Amino acid sequence: MAQADVVATWNVPLHKQVHKVEFEHGTTTGKRVIRIDGREILRRDWMFKLVGKENFILGGMQCTISVEALGTFAYEYTLDVNGKTFNKFKEELNKKLQSWETTIGGHEWRVVLDKEAMEVWANGNTVLTAGEFVDNGTLTHFELGKTPCRIMAQSSGNKKIGVLHTLYVNNTLVPSTIDSGQASSSSSSS
C-alpha cells in the first residue's frame, strides 16, 4: 500500500467494535481504495473522474465517502453514515451508546451500554444482565468471564446532562472511552 495515497481515516464506533475506515485516492491515477480494519473492500483503478462518491456497507449501515474538489489539485474527503455526516452520526451515537475498555487477566474487553435498549455488549456479544434498583439509581450486574461487573445509572442532577452511567469491574471504576472517531482526513494537493 502506498501510504502517500491514504488521504483519510475514520474510526467508526458501533455496538460490536470500532471500525477503522481508510480511503486511498491516487490523484494522478484516479485510484480509489476503501479498507475496513485493514481489509480491502473496494478498489477502482484508472478512473478519469477524480471527484465523486463511493458507497459501501459497514455493520449494516449505508456509508458514502465523497470526494470533492477544493480547487486545482486539492480535494476534500467526507464520510456519511446512514445519510448523516460523520460528526452528526457520532453525536447521535454518543447519546445512545456509552463504552468502556478494560483489561482483565490479560484479556481486553470493550463494553458498550445501549442506553435506549438497556443492553450491555462485551466484545460484540450481548451479555446476560440482572437489574437492581438502589436508593440513588439502578445497578446492572453482569460478568466478564468470571469477573463481577456493574454499571451504575444515576441522575446527574442536570437536565442537559441527564443520567450518568459508570462501570465498575471488581469494584474498581473504569473510565468511559470517548469514541472520538474523528476523521484524520487531509486536503490533498498533488
Please check whether residues 66 and 103 belong to one and the same domain: no
pLDDT per position as a tens digit, 148-190 = 999 999 988 888 888 899 999 999 999 988 654 444 444 443 3
Which residues are 13's β-sheet partners?
18
CATH of the domain at 28: 2.40.128.180
**How many whole angstroms separate alpha carbon 176 and alpha carbon 178?**
6
In a domain, 148, yes or no: yes
Domain total for the chain? 2
In a domain, 125, yes or no: yes
In a domain, 127, yes or no: yes
Only one residue has cell 501510504, namely 3
In a domain, 55, yes or no: yes
Please check whether residues 160 and 105 belong to one and the same domain: yes
Please check whether residues 134 and 74 belong to one and the same domain: no
- Domain extent, residue 169, equals 95-177
Region 2-20: mean pLDDT is 82
pLDDT per position as a tens digit, 94-112 = 888 999 999 998 999 999 9
In a domain, 9, yes or no: yes
Strand, coil or helix: what is 25? strand
**How many whole angstroms separate alpha carbon 93 and alpha carbon 153?**
18
Q: 56 versus 182: which is more confidently predicted?
A: 56
Output the pTM of the full model: 0.73
What is the per-residue pLDDT for 62? Answer: 96
Amino acid identity, position 44: R
What is the per-residue pLDDT for 3? Answer: 55
Element spanning 88, H or E: helix 86-96
